[in-house]
Amino acid sequence: MTPLVTKVEAAQTLRVSPRVVLHLVRTRKLTAVKVGRAWRFDLRDVQAFIDAQRRARSAMPVVPVPQMREPLPLPRRRRFQ
């Protein structure tokens, strides 16, 4: 059995805040077990989440960035005499 880690330890592994970890649980992107009031995470599930994110990122097509155009000149202010 793989040891379970706390919400804070899972957040440190993912390098995000504990609130983000809870958001991932609520959106069912990361599995967890609630023991009393505390959430516990299996390290294999955290690592599987990281691996899935890497696979999804590498499957994304590379889109060229459009070139920036020169900004339009600002209109001159008229001075009233």
Contact 32, 25 (CB under 8 A): yes
What's the rounded mean pLDDT across residues 25-44? 95
pLDDT-derived band of residue 56, with 50, 70 and 90 as boundaries?
A: confident
60 vs 37, more confident: 37
Q: Is the confidence at residue 81, as pLDDT, over 70?
A: no
Q: How high is the mean pLDDT of the chain?
A: 88
pLDDT band at 55; cut points 50, 70, 90:
confident
Q: In what order do the strands lie in the sheet with 33-35?
A: 4-6, 38-42, 33-35
